[in-house]
A and B are shown apart, each in its own frame.
Chain A
Amino acid sequence: MNTDPVVTHPRLQLITLDANGEQHDVVTEPRRTLVDVLRHDLRLTGTHVGCEHGICGACTVLVDERPVRACLMFAAQAEGARIRTVESLSEDGGGELSDLQRAFTDHHALQCGFCTPGFLMLAEGFLAERPEATKEEIREVVAANLCRCTGYQTIVEAIDACATARRGACVTPCGGPDSKEH
């Protein structure tokens, strides 16, 4: 048993990732970013790679329910965390779209679609934390990601419509224990 307080990994390392509720063992170089492991090793190609330096947000995924840039994180850093990608949104894993995805369709919140997985995961994480989000707050949050087609207006409208519908659907007062009064 290794009793050293620091575990030293060789050139190749075995990591276990929890992606969309499934455990995956991956043997990889430590320099692999999370987004590259998701795409190349786990074949979860819904997450896109844009700038690779944290500017465009195309690679946004949820790590422990919070939106993060998967290009600014090494896969090894995600060991032990729950990762969710765009593939997790549709309830039966590929058939029925989620309410958020349907809102993007209904409001024409995409054209070429390259940035869409990033926007979806950004919105998914944000709305989970702030179900009461105002349109202004949504506008502020989507500034995190780049879209060159829509001009953002339709993205803001889609997220706002989804949030409004979710609030309407709440039987009990909206928001979990994490929600804040404003």
Chain B
Amino acid sequence: MKPAPFQYHRARDVDGAARLLAELGDDAKVIAGGQSLVAMMNYRLARPRHLVDIGGLRELDRMHRDADGGLRIGALTTHHTVETDPTGVLGAGFEVLRRAMTWIGHLPIRTRGTVGGSMAHGDATAEWCLLAVTLGAEFVVRGPHGERTVPAGDFFHGYYTTALEPDEILVEIVFPRPAPHAALTEFAERRGDFALVAATVDLDVEGGEVRGGRVALGGVASAAVRVPEAEAVLTDGGSFEACAAVAAEAVEPPADASGSTHYRKELVRTLVRRACEEAVSR
């Protein structure tokens, strides 16, 4: 189908875009790469009266490491840029991000889709949302009243809902610590589809021993969730198998045409174990 009519506004800077959003109110939507929004508009699931295009704000398209070894990703950085890492900023500490990109859609989606767009869209199965929750990312958002930072734990509120106010723009995502022993894996019915279940782990490894870690899941609730019960198994020196079994017990994924609750719990068990094995082998 064709999208409903709207007015198109091209932002020249972040502050101008935020001011315009404040003026236009709930009828306006920010567009970056548009890989989710344009599909929704073509279906008329979304009918914004105004689109504010921030795609030209090149200052938001960059990745760099900060003095503390953290990684700062501008909101308009594409999945493809992370995947190819042209400036070599990821290193072993953030290799997990580079490898995770291959799960996102297909090449022509990754060339347009942006990190910030994916986060702001807030799909319950999105790889970026899951990575943010697992790795404790922080979100730098700017609105007409200035800038604030939101931790990942407070950013995702549920299906397609985030802490962003209608007049705020996500400008940067900060991954504060390298995660050399982290991995993301998932299962989808076809390559490139939305995951039925996705799992990410970030292990603390000292002298070859696993001392603990973070375990998070996508596709089992209205947003990506950490699984403290499974993390406790890792802290107590339990096996990956035990950790995976506890994770499967701890969640109650919704059933739909693609799979029952039981089926998704079995996926959790398999995927958490796979993610742990991949992460520890790094």
Q: Which residues of A contact B (CB under 8 A)?
A: 4-11, 13, 29-31, 33, 36, 52-54, 57, 60, 63, 66-69, 71-74, 76-77, 80, 122, 125-126, 140-141, 143-144, 178, 180
Contact = CB atoms under 8 A, between A and B. Distances in A.
Given A30-B51, A53-B43, A144 B38 contact: no
B53 A76 contact: yes
B192 A144 contact: yes
A54 B7 contact: no
B2 A6 contact: no
A59 B1 CA distance: 14
A36 B2 CA distance: 10
Interface residues of B, number: 43
A8 B24 CA distance: 12
A70 to B, nearest CB: 9
Interface stretch (B12-20, B210-218, B243-251): B12-20
A6 B8 contact: no
B70 interface: no
B62 interface: no
Contact of B112 (A8, A68, A125): A68
A68 B17 CA distance: 25
B107 A76 contact: no
Contact of A68 (B6, B9, B86, B108): B108
A72 B38 contact: yes
B189 to A, nearest CB: 13
20 contacts: A5-B19, A6-B9, A6-B11, A6-B52, A9-B7, A30-B51, A33-B2, A33-B3, A52-B1, A67-B107, A67-B108, A72-B38, A72-B39, A72-B112, A74-B38, A76-B10, A77-B34, A77-B53, A141-B106, A180-B84
A30 B5 CA distance: 7
B52 to A, nearest CB: 8
A74 B15 contact: no
B5 A31 contact: yes
Contacts of A144: 105-109, 192
B10 A7 contact: yes
Nearest to B106: A144
Interface in B1-59: 1-13, 15-17, 19-20, 31, 34-35, 38-39, 41-43, 51-53, 55-56
Contacts of B80: 66
B88 to A, nearest CB: 11
Nearest to A71: B42
Of residues B3, B11, B52, B106, which shows the largest number of chain A Cβ atoms within 10 Å of its Cβ? B106
Contacts of B42: 33, 52-53, 71
A23 to B, nearest CB: 18
A71 B51 CA distance: 17
Contacts of B86: 178
Contact of B20 (A6, A73, A126): A6
Closest 3 CB pairs of A and B: A5-B16, A144-B106, A30-B8
